[in-house]
Structures are given as C-alpha cells and as structure tokens.
Amino acid sequence: MNVPELSVDDVACLFPSTQNIQDPIKGGQKIVFPCQVNNRPTVIKFLSASIGTVFDDLAFEVNVSEEVMARTQREVDIIARCRSPHVIKLGQIPLGSAKHGSHDLIYFSEEYIEGTSLKDYFRQEQKLSLEEVCRLGLEITRAIAELWRFGKIHRDIKPGNIMRRENGQFVLLDMGLAFDVMVESLTMTGLISGTAMYMSPEQTESYRKRQLDFRSDMFSLGIVLYEALAGRHPFFDPKQRLSHCDILQAILYDDPEPLEIHRREAPDELIDIVNRLLGKEPHLRFRSCNQLIQRFENLLEKL
C-alpha cells in the first residue's frame, strides 16, 4: 500500500488555495505535506487507496481499498468529534479522493503542530523530567478518555504518535487504527493492528480483539512512560535484532526491569503508576481513565 511519489507542484495543482507548501514527510503508509491554508499552518495527508501493483487478486484488492477508505473516514470522524486539546484537530481541507497517474489517492488535512515528536526526544536519548513525565501521562490519559467517551480506543499509542507543542502540551496523533468497540472491527480478520513494540498483551492475540478497551491504550502508555523515565524499552533493548515473534513474546511473558534501577529519584507513586499500567492483564491496570487522571493530578501537586 505504498503511496506514489507526489511533488510540491502536484499538491499546488490539486489545492490552488494552499500556500508555502513544504517538502513531504514520508512515514508508514502516508505522505504528508506541511503548508498553509488561509494563513493557518496545516498538513495534508495522502494515502493510497489502490494496491493493484502488490496483489493480483481483484477481490482482495477491492477489500483492502475499502479498508483504507473506511479507516480514513473513521480517522476523520473521530478527530471531528473529539474536543480534547490533547487530540489532533482537523484542517480546512476535507476528506476527498484524487487520481495521480494510475493511483487512487485519499487525502484530508490536520492542524500543523509546532513542536517535537516524543520519538525525536527518545532518539536523542533525552529523558524527560519527572514533572514532564507526569504531565505526559496526564495529558495522554485525557486523550484516551476522550476517545473512550465515543467508545473508541487508539491501538497505536507510541512516541511517534505523540507531539509536544512548543508550549509543552502533549498531543496524540494518528487515529487511523482507532477501534470502535460498539461495531465489528474494520480490520481484516486475523490481522493484528498496531506497532508491535507498543502493543498490549491482549492486542497481540487477534482472537482477543473483542476484549480490547481503554486499558489496552493504558498499557501502551505505560511503555511510553517507562521509556521516558528509563531511556529504554521496558521489555527489551530495541537495538537488538529481534523478530516480530520475539517482541510479542517479551510483551506477553517478560517482566520489566525495576524502574528504580534506571531512575533512582523517581517517586514511589510514579513507579507504582507505571507498574500498574504494565500489568499483563487488563484488570491489573486502572479501572477508569478518571482514576488514572486523579493519580497523575495528585502526583503533580507534590512535585
């Protein structure tokens, strides 16, 4: 499902009202162009809706195209409904489709966030301060709670999907894998969705997908918070050459190294929160987002 090569000129031709179109950012199955629309910083996202060059089975091609369109529509719908400042906002260019050569494309726009992704912080081996870690946990939990208000879970919480605005506020991005627990999953049967290194144990087993709820997102947040405190993943060293199976086995069965080894100044209450988030079973985590939010708020008052 690779996105075809698009140029700045292609985007300008498609959207004549856009200004200051920047070189594209490529990642996953998307290509993203920062620009301005009516003087507002914006990003336009393009996804391929056709995979005929990858699969020859026409029926399968149609199914996957429908999956891409449904997933994109779902992402746009979720963002439009959310009111939390910690969830990305839509831009002024609505969801649409276009043709580029022989490729069918889907596009939509979001606000452009001035800031840094958490992934870039971790790449530079920077650890967040204790207060920043608590604020990260609090604000992403608020985003999880906002999704859960609509019966949704994110399923792909990871450093690359968290931005820190220049004012220090954390924002959750990329609702493309968000899962509606009230209806059948749009994900193809048997396919595990998410980024393996940040999956919850229940997310690694496709037969348990109907059991997923906000506590699955809590587990992923626990991995991110551990990494922010310790400077490493709780279950393995990502620099190791691990197979997909090795990663899933570690998440399912291994215990993390004690956080106090890596961050001696971390308060016991913060360590307890992270350890609970990393509970192998959902019932070992927090029973509600509000309970977790309260814990973070209480802890921030003490720091």
Residues labelled as active-site residues: 156
- Coil, helix or strand at residue 234: coil
CB 136 within 8 A of CB 117: no
Please list, in sequence order, all residues whose beta carbon lies within 8 angstroms of the beta carbon of residue 206, skipping any fewer than 6 positions away. Answer: 189, 190, 191, 192
Q: What is the rounded end-to-end Cα distance, in angstroms, of the chain?
A: 47
**What are the residues facing 47 on neighbouring strands?**
30, 106
Amino acid, single-letter form, for residue 199: M
Query: CA geometry: angle at 298 spanning 292 and 301, to 5°?
Result: 140
Q: How far is the C-alpha of 77 from the C-alpha of 158, rounded, in Å? A: 21
